[in-house]
A = this chain, B = another copy of it.
Amino acid sequence: GEVFDKEMYQDNSLAGVVTGLAWTSVGGEILFIEASLSKGKGKLTLSGQLGDVMKESAMTAISYLRSKAETLNIDHRVFDQYDLHIHVPAGAVPKDGPSAGITMLTAIASIYTQRKVRSKLAMTGEITLRGKVMPVGGIKEKILAAKRAGIEDVILCKRNQKDIEEIDDLYLKGLKFHFVDHVSEVLKIALLENRVKDPMEFMFDPEPKKVVEN
């Protein structure tokens, strides 16, 4: 049991993989959001039997990141010249809901920047297009699952702080909570400054020169 649990969190050597927290009919569990890029034409592929709401979360995360590309040091050409795939194992289990929003956003930000994700970190929270983080349900069950999996840091919406206060301290031991209002705070906590080892090297087709106007 012990050994198996320890293996459950993802080591952070790969860009684009972030640990989320899900709530199912039989309790909480951790899930992984996996993002990958390959040379292409800007196509988006979503897999893992994702429902409509979860697909919209992914699209909202992408739009937010595209509109903030400059701030995040992402070359905007990567959006049109690379294909993005987001997969959420296990492949046969239907998943839905908005609570993977910040996890998806972090995974996509990591794959585009090739920055490492903080290790032993999990998160849950809805995002909006302007970057607000919104509260989600099932907090107690999710926290228990995080602890079982060896998670040490958890990011939640500020409005979920009250749900943590209702959990017996016994279950919270060893967990550090980060309560946030905005995705910029999420990325500050979740993305490390350094990039992964042997990062992907982006190659771009030349584009016609643009003129800035405002």
**A39-B90 in contact (CB<8A):** no
Q: Which residues on the B side are within 8 Å of A40 (C-beta)? A: 66, 79-80
Q: Which residues on the B side are within 8 Å of A148 (C-beta)? A: none
**B36-A47 in contact (CB<8A):** no
**B59-A49 in contact (CB<8A):** no
Contacts A45-B63, A206-B208 given; indicate if A128 touches B89 (C-beta within 8 A).
yes
Q: Using a CB-CB cutoff of 8 Å, which residues 53-88 of chain A contact chain B?
A: 53, 56-57, 59-60, 63-64, 66-67, 69, 75-76, 79-80, 83, 85-87
A92 within 8 A of partner (CB):
yes
The one of B32, B38, B52, B128 in contact with A63, judged by C-beta atoms closer than 8 angstroms, is: B38
Contacts A60-B47, A60-B91, A208-B206 given; indicate if A130 touches B34 (C-beta within 8 A).
yes
How far in angstroms is the closest Cβ of chain B from A142?
16
How far in angstroms is the closest Cβ of chain B from A162?
11
Q: Which residues on the B side are within 8 Å of A20 (C-beta)? A: none
Q: Which residues on the B side are within 8 Å of A126 (C-beta)? A: 89-92
Closest to A10 in B: B130
Q: Which residues on the B side are within 8 Å of A3 (C-beta)? A: none
A37 within 8 A of partner (CB):
yes
**A47-B39 in contact (CB<8A):** no
Q: Using a CB-CB cutoff of 8 Å, which residues 113-164 of chain A contact chain B?
A: 114, 126, 128-130, 132, 134
Q: Measured between alpha carbons, how far is A52 from B91 in the docked complex, in Å?
A: 10
Interface centre among A49, A56, A132 (most CB of B within 10 A): A56
Q: Measured between alpha carbons, how far is A90 from B208 in the docked complex, in Å?
A: 39
Q: Measured between alpha carbons, how far is A39 from B68 in the docked complex, in Å?
A: 11
Contacts A49-B56, A98-B90 given; indicate if A75 touches B130 (C-beta within 8 A).
no
The contact sample of 19 A-B pairs, CB cut-off 8 A, is A35-B129, A36-B130, A37-B67, A38-B63, A40-B80, A45-B59, A47-B59, A47-B60, A57-B91, A63-B87, A85-B129, A87-B128, A91-B101, A91-B134, A92-B98, A199-B214, A202-B213, A205-B207, A206-B211
